[in-house]
Chains A and B, each alone.
Chain A
């Protein structure tokens, strides 16, 4: 089974967010660049399944040069190849368009993504790619295994409130992976250094048959939730804060 895993490079934390001149993205100083949490689970599951079924695992990301770091992490975890679609776009619709065009040119049976990215928080790119490629999808998946026949996979997905569902899905398919109880593995430094020497294929947006279109959204403002917060912040030493809190608790008990 040939598997493509979409992994996004996201900032650990950010400073000085600013709306870009074209109002299509938010520029910032990143404290660190990490792989999006649920993508790491997708990556782990994808590489395992590709190995088990004798197929190839490819990691793909859409982003600027700094996003290569997540592809190297993928290669460090033994993905067979890596692709970066070079772009400054960040809006989910155009990112999904780009990724689906790039993935459409590959030989794939299964596409994996995460459930939600920590920066855009849209839960949109995965399912959008599936629809653009007209393949079935499953969202919030916890487990994946080969199906009854060669042309299916068996997945366990969350329905919410403690309910899960087991499904067989026809291939090719797209699966949005959720975080789970089996932690993703850690890549040893030596492997990471070897991965940095492996090639990464770069695709320019102009290589894809994409009509240049403006973003579907314009950003007008960014602000902190403090502006919307109604919480009374309790000041003082920790001892004073604790005493004040317990006074409040006493009121409702």
Chain B
């Protein structure tokens, strides 16, 4: 046995976020290899329905850190609570998402515990009794396989969607509450307010076809051409973060962890490299078609069909084909 394993659960809109099931699947596999117990930690307010859902997982133990004052997410407080839980559970391996929460908590925990952080992984395995991870580098155009040699506990974060979701075996996890006393912490940051972006009347999450624009289109003057394609397909335009940052399209069109999660029937990724923060939020689309001039662009990892080439060579023909498809229907 190389130490216990702990998964940090995440929630979204009052439900267990899918990353949790992915992490539990990986955690279970390594726990079985190590013959170690697997625990999952959930932090927040009003957790009973979520704990009920987690009971169906393969975890041996559910650690519940619940307090009404945790309703509004406060990174500093969350990190401190997780750190205390990690200290007392004393795992050898902690698995989390490469999500906002994982990016904040992971490095902080690894330094506080004197452990080792390895982030942005797509896979993890045990080889010769050491942990070996695969992670994206250089804009995702390369992947590296690395062996973790630093001190334990090991903290590993995963790109959401890169691990298979666990098939729910009927678990019989024990439940253990963790005492949370927010008064006891001397916080060095205070939340003033939490705001939600105003989306206006555009809702790209409802579109059946999305023509998504990346930085590779080169400039705002190219947007009309892509709009023609979207219109011919009776679809909607969406985009990556730089395109919204630069104001080529409004924020309401942005796909990614900082904006919208989409799963249309068809997603055209035009000049989008396929960064994990983008891909996470569109990889559940029924069909993904990527057009990119770089054959190593990571978008091809999730695409069903790919065209390697200059998008301006292909788009005019796509518009023509889409128009005749529309006429034929």
Contacts and interface: CB of A to CB of B under 8 A. Distances in A.
A214 interface: yes
A12 B266 CA distance: 31
Interface stretch (B61-69, B87-95, B255-263): B255-263
Interface stretch (A56-64, A79-87, A220-228): A220-228
A250 B314 CA distance: 18
B321 interface: yes
Interface in A164-201: 164-170, 173, 178-181, 183
Contact of B143 (A122, A228, A241): A228
Given A131-B112, A168-B190, A181-B247, A221 B305 contact: no
B142 A231 contact: no
A217 B147 contact: yes
Interface string B266-283: 100000000000000000
B170 interface: no
A164 B194 contact: yes
Interface residues of A, number: 83
Contacts of A241: 307, 309, 314, 317
Contacts of B135: 121
Given A138-B75, A139-B75, A170 B189 contact: yes
Given A222-B142, A225-B143, A248-B289, A161 B259 contact: yes
Nearest to B139: A118
Contact of B314 (A178, A220, A228, A238): A238
Contacts, number: 269
B145 A128 contact: no
A245 B289 contact: yes
B103 A234 contact: no
Contact of B144 (A158, A221, A233, A252): A221
Contact of B194 (A163, A183, A219): A163
Contact of A224 (B98, B142, B189, B321): B142
A167 B119 contact: no
Interface of A is mostly: mixed
Contacts of A233: 300, 305-308
B309 A238 contact: yes
A14 B116 CA distance: 28
B195 A166 contact: yes
Given A165-B195, A224-B296, A231-B300, A124 B106 contact: yes
A239 interface: yes
Interface string A116-132: 10111111111110111
A224 B136 CA distance: 10
Contacts of B103: 115-116, 123, 127, 139-140
Interface of A: 11, 13-14, 17, 26, 92-93, 96, 115-116, 118-128, 130-132, 135-140, 154, 158-170, 173, 178-181, 183, 214-234, 238-239, 241-243, 245-246, 248-250, 252-253
Interface of B: 12, 73, 75-76, 98-100, 103-104, 106-108, 110-112, 116-120, 122, 132, 135-151, 188-197, 199, 208-209, 233, 241-242, 244-247, 251, 257-261, 265-266, 286-287, 289-290, 295-298, 300-309, 313-314, 317-318, 320-322, 325
25 contacts: A17-B142, A122-B119, A123-B98, A126-B107, A127-B103, A140-B258, A159-B100, A160-B100, A162-B258, A163-B196, A173-B188, A181-B246, A216-B148, A218-B146, A222-B143, A222-B144, A224-B143, A225-B301, A228-B301, A231-B290, A232-B305, A242-B317, A242-B318, A245-B305, A249-B266
